[in-house]
Amino acid sequence: MPPKKVKFKQKVRPKSKASKPAQQKFQNIKAIEVLRKVGWGIDELSEKIIRNLEKQKSVSEDAIARRLKMRVNDVRKPLYALAEKGVATYEKKRDPKKKWWYLYFWSLNRERILGLVRETKMKELEKLRKQLDDERKYEFECKACQKKYLHEEALEADYLCPECGATLETARTTITIKKLEIEIKRLETELESPQ
Ligand SMILES: [Zn+2]
């Protein structure tokens, strides 16, 4: 029956292998920023190489060298350094022109980078939770001199400020505590959502 319909269907572009949301999510993550945040020294050359790898699924060493106007040998070292850290991976294929020769195709290890993002966020969350605990442990305060005291300290001083003698009051939730709570909630939500 209607051949038109078939034709129309054929025009629909095939879906890419990676699901779109996952790919978009990755593109929002700047590999360089992640690597710097986890404290990895990324030099200028490695940065240029990563930017090249970000653009494509896989790039040959020769293409990277050509784009950077460098010799293949000079881009290999930083590429292997990235591979050692698990950030980049390579695949070797026989050169169709020179059969005894291999061509190396490089890709960013997206899983590893997403894992690093997660690790960074978990560390940050741990740090913030500790800060919040520290902030909350001062249960009493003196409004006159703005000093804060631990529960035991307040008890020992009969709930009178050791500095000025004013009555100690329950410490208010400070802006710092509120900010920490918001930030912790944000990180928790991010970590709960699937990557
Ligand atoms: Zn006081």
Residue 58 CA to ligand 1 center (angstroms) comes to 66
- pLDDT at residue number 181: 96
The tokens describing 168, both together, are 């100690």
Tens-binned pLDDT, residue by residue, of the chain (195 aa): 555 544 444 444 544 444 455 555 555 667 888 888 887 778 899 999 999 998 888 999 999 999 999 999 999 999 999 999 899 999 999 888 887 888 999 999 989 988 988 998 999 999 999 999 998 999 999 999 999 999 999 999 999 999 999 999 999 888 989 999 999 999 999 999 865
Rounded distance from Cα 167 to ligand 1 centre (Å): 8
Q: Does residue 167 contact residue 160 with C-beta atoms inside 8 Å?
A: yes
Rounded distance from Cα 140 to ligand 1 centre (Å): 11
What separation in Å is there between the alpha carbon of 92 and the centre of ligand 1? Answer: 72
Distance 143 CA to ligand 1 centre (A): 7
pLDDT at 173: 86
pLDDT in tens, 127-157: 999 999 998 999 999 999 999 999 999 999 9
118, two tokens: 């997660």
Task: Please give the pLDDT value at position 70.
Answer: 95
CB 86 within 8 Å of CB 140? no
Tell me the CA distances in angstroms from 183 to 10, 37, 64, 165, 193, one per residue in order.
49, 18, 40, 36, 16
